[in-house]
Chain A
Amino acid sequence: MSAAAPIVEGRDLTRVFPMPAGDVTALGHVSIRIEPGEHVAITGPSGCGKSTLLHLLGCVDQATGGTLLFEGREVGALSESDRSRIRLTRIGFVFQRFFLLPMLTAWENIELPQAEAGASKSERRARTRELLEYVGLTERMDHRPSQLSGGEMQRVAIARALANRPPLLLADEPTGELDEATGEQIADLFDRVHADGTAIVVVTHNPVVAARAQRRLAMKSGSVVSG
């Protein structure tokens, strides 16, 4: 185990969803530690709690039990605006359906989180150009999402997730909407991001993507069963 402080650490995390037919435990007593620069894949069947765990780690949902520490701060004790700030500056999110803003170009989609974080215009311009080169889409910077392929959209989404230089990148089924070849390109891109020092936690069904991770956590019925 690494001696460095973890980026995010969940202790005995539980997430229960109240339902009309009775409470559903999506996650039961899971403990997890993500170290800086780590590459972790979470796998398991549908409905096993992978995305729920990812949402807790990404501070977009709150555990009903247990403790989550992000860079040493207890997330449950933070205000909504503090959690938003953490998500904006310390975490990058990549979604299965990309969720790019359809009215903005690739350039503008990547620039948007930087503007929200308060980066100056010149900083934004330099960082956006750098990220477009990084994901190989410089030629497509003026294209809207509707003019891009699925793989290109996911590359723009990854660039957007990296815009504020977060130490942690969370990806929820990033290749779920892509064909095999494009999925491999995205996996290659994750490898580069990881090699550049960003910790990655990826929830995936794709064995190719999972195989690239340093550590694989297998989940079943709301619990981590191996890894």
Chain B
Amino acid sequence: MSAWSLAWRTVVHNPARACLAIGGVAVIGALLFNMLLLSRGLLVSFRDLLDTAGYDVRVLANEGSPIHRAPLAGAPSLAGEIERLPSVRRVALIRSDDALALPPGRDADAASVTLIGSTERQLGGAWDIVKGSTLPAEVHPGEPVPLVVSTKLAARQRLEPGSPLRIRVNLAGGASVLPSVDCRVVGIGSFTFESAYDYTVATTMAGFAAAHGAPDGKDEADLVLVASAPDAGPEAAAKAIAALRPDVRVYSNAQVVDQFNARAFSYFRQISVVLSTITLAFAFLLVATLLTMSVNQRLGEVAALRALGFPRRRIAANLLCESALLVGVGGVAALPLGGVLAIVLDRILRAMPGVPERLHFFVFEMDTVVLHAALLTATGILAALYPIWLAARLPIAATLRKEIVS
């Protein structure tokens, strides 16, 4: 009979102990799985979110940061220069501001929105049209400003493609004195970067300028999005842009992710490492305690096996297999349990203000499952060490004598 089958029979013979151990490892393993998902999930999701937009290089003003951006002056000419680089395929200018969306005649339904101006009719994957059409290529003078509104805003303000809407830009630091402009909803879309409590509205660059009371447009942009040529790649494009214009800051998506990883995400990682270590310590203590108790209850049995000629390594193998079975079954049960827990926690975290709804804190990766299995395996082995030592060093004669006397 192999060590595995003997261990299996031992586990099955003690159902209460096995249930306690497996249940405990499953719960602890689920928490560990969540911590591991959390340690990388946000980063992976953020990278996916950036890549979804279809642009892999970002150009910003030298002042500010990727989060708190200062406007870029002379943006159209900068975009033109960048677009002529052989490593660049496409360029888009982006502006954004806070505004108020006012459905005509329904002031009570007014909502604060983020107004985005773009030189592109369809800004990569930044929004997906679910109804109506995307922004028009051209808007004739006197026509209302075209808008793509988010599904949530459309639902709240009962908007449909063709609905009129007025937009008034908020000015920072005081009440807005800008007039509201007449707009028309051309499409309803799902916005990638919209958070649970935000509403987003996109328009053309001309529309954005009109909302700011400058129909001819200003030459500013908050951000220049660049899609690199497939044969060049984002790093080469970023390098070429930085060489062309040393007065701006250029980041590939990978660099943006690296920056977030080193700053904001490092907190998640540290929390995750601390909590993972604690959960592993709990798993270790649980399995080590149960196995030690089990060995202590079976000292006579172990001594008899040794007296019958079973070598120390065989006793050690039995206990190691027993530990592996308890941790293994518990670890497997931890995956669906952890998965459900991750979905619930992810839903709660994504509802936080300012967090894009499509950003996930818990992202399933095969690597995480492998790491989870490796950590639990190591814990199972470590937890078995003391009981193994106890059983292997057992003085056979003294134990048999003690068992008879007791």
Contact = CB atoms under 8 A, between A and B. Distances in A.
Interface of A: 51-52, 55, 58, 60-61, 80-81, 84-89, 91, 93, 95-97, 99, 101-104, 108, 111-113, 115-117, 160-161, 172-173, 176
Contacts of B396: 55, 60-61
Given A97-B300, A103-B9, A112 B307 contact: no
B310 A102 contact: no
A103 B310 contact: no
Closest 10 CB pairs of A and B: A88-B309, A99-B304, A103-B13, A87-B309, A61-B397, A55-B397, A103-B9, A60-B396, A84-B311, A60-B307
B308 A93 contact: yes
* Most chain B beta carbons < 10 A, residue from A55, A60, A160, A176: A60
Contact of A88 (B9, B12, B300, B310): B310
A101 B396 CA distance: 16
B304 A85 contact: no
Nearest to A176: B404
A96 B402 CA distance: 12
B329 interface: no
Main SS of the interface on chain A?
A: helix
B65 to A, nearest CB: 64
Given A80-B311, A99-B300, 12 more contacts: A60-B400, A80-B312, A85-B311, A88-B308, A88-B310, A93-B304, A103-B10, A103-B12, A104-B9, A112-B1, A116-B314, A176-B404
A96 B312 contact: no
Nearest to B405: A46
B109 interface: no
B400 A84 contact: no
Contact of A84 (B301, B303, B304, B309): B309
Nearest to B310: A116
A101 B310 CA distance: 13
Nearest to A83: B309
B401 interface: yes
Interface string B21-64: 00000000000000000000000000000000000000000000
B166 interface: no
A173 B404 contact: yes
Interface string B378-406: 00000000000000000111101101100
Contact of A86 (B303, B309, B312): B309
B118 to A, nearest CB: 70
B339 to A, nearest CB: 33
B360 to A, nearest CB: 46
Contacts of A91: 309
Contacts of B306: 60, 84
Nearest to B395: A61
Main SS of the interface on chain B?
A: helix
A202 to B, nearest CB: 15
Contact of B311 (A81, A89, A115): A81
Interface of B: 1, 6, 9-10, 12-13, 300-301, 303-312, 314, 395-398, 400-401, 403-404
A161 B307 CA distance: 11
21 contacts: A51-B400, A52-B397, A60-B397, A60-B400, A61-B397, A80-B312, A84-B310, A84-B311, A87-B307, A88-B310, A93-B308, A95-B304, A95-B307, A95-B400, A97-B300, A97-B403, A103-B9, A112-B1, A113-B310, A116-B314, A117-B309
Nearest to A85: B309
A73 B310 CA distance: 20
Contacts of A80: 311-312
Contact of B1 (A86, A111, A173, A176): A111
B400 A55 contact: yes
Contact of B309 (A104, A113, A173): A113
A111 B309 CA distance: 14
A71 to B, nearest CB: 15
Contacts of B301: 99, 101-102
A58 B404 contact: no
Nearest to B396: A60
Contacts of B9: 103-104
A86 B309 CA distance: 7
B6 to A, nearest CB: 8
A189 B10 CA distance: 31
Nearest to B14: A103
B18 to A, nearest CB: 11
A101 to B, nearest CB: 6
Nearest to A160: B308
Contact of B404 (A96, A108, A115): A96
A160 B301 CA distance: 14
Contacts of B404: 51, 96-97, 172-173, 176
Given A60-B396, A97-B300, A112-B1, A87 B308 contact: yes
Contacts of B398: 61
Nearest to A17: B398
Contacts of A60: 306-307, 396-397, 400
* Most chain B beta carbons < 10 A, residue from A52, A84, A102: A84
